[in-house]
Amino acid sequence: MTGFAAARVPAAQATVCVELKSVNSRFLELAIRVPDELRALEAMARDQVAARLARGKVDVRVTLTREGTALDASLSPESLARLAALAREAAAALPAAAALSLGDVLRWPGVLESPQADADTLRGPFSQALEEALRALGEARVREGAAIRSVLLERCAGIDRIIAELRAQVPAILAMLARKLQERLSQALVPALAGSNHLSREEINDRIRQEVTLHGMRVDVDEELQRLATHVAEVRRVLDAGGAVGRRLDFLMQELNREANTLGSKASAIEMTNAAVELKLLIEQMREQIQNLE
């Protein structure tokens, strides 16, 4: 599920800020960026996030805002010695070049060292800030989940409408197909077999009726409509139960899509074809929304 949350917690000589960004993903994917001082706490952060979230691509960004001043910094003898050696080499290669000024020296990376915060000291504030951000992210995801639930229920109602319309139309469609098939078979077979000494006209008609009946059984979609209705009812039940429903709904979307495909393959009238297309569209819309659910 998508969402953003941030939290700040003061610590000794610094403030810990945690930002969380979450986007859709079938599984939990964590990307954590922490300052060097907190590198030892990265595993703790991963466990803390995994305990609260099950799905989503989650970016965790942690920053430290130091509360000290430049007067708290000190010079690094190693960096000064290295800079002096570099300055001598540069002067030998470029005698006409100006010497480094004091400002240049102080601005050189690594010359000034700020006091490093201890990871153990920051463990508590870091964990607290992360927990507050996770709580805020969870609340945002709950609000989004409620909105997605409404969308899914609306699509379920659309599928129910299509099922009801098809159930009302199927008997007339099958009867019409049976009449047309019987007429075509009669036109094709009766003249051809009328002169046969082995089959009477009544036997020919019986065989035609058998073929019509078998064809009607092959194109009957009552079983598919019943399974579609059952899966839609299960979607509603899962949504009402709440909790982590994403993977269960993923499976139900596969089953709904399977029945819609079967319905389309059995379609022997334009009404059935249109219904199968509408069903697949609604199911795909639901599937896309379910990717946002945990």
Contact between residue 293 and residue 245 where contact means Cβ atoms under 8 Å apart: yes
- The confidence score (pLDDT) of residue 120 equals 80
- The confidence score (pLDDT) of residue 71 equals 46
Prediction pTM value: 0.59
- The confidence score (pLDDT) of residue 128 equals 94
- The confidence score (pLDDT) of residue 153 equals 95
List of the chain residues with pLDDT < 70: 1, 67-73, 112-118, 174-220, 267-268, 294
The 10 Å CB-count burial string (b at 16+, else e) for 42-64 is eeebeebbeeebebbbbbbebeb
- pLDDT, tens digit (0-9, with 9 covering 90-100), for 156-174: 999 999 999 888 877 777 6
Question: Which amino acid is present at 18?
Answer: V
Judged by DSSP in three states, 285 sits in helix
- The confidence score (pLDDT) of residue 154 equals 95
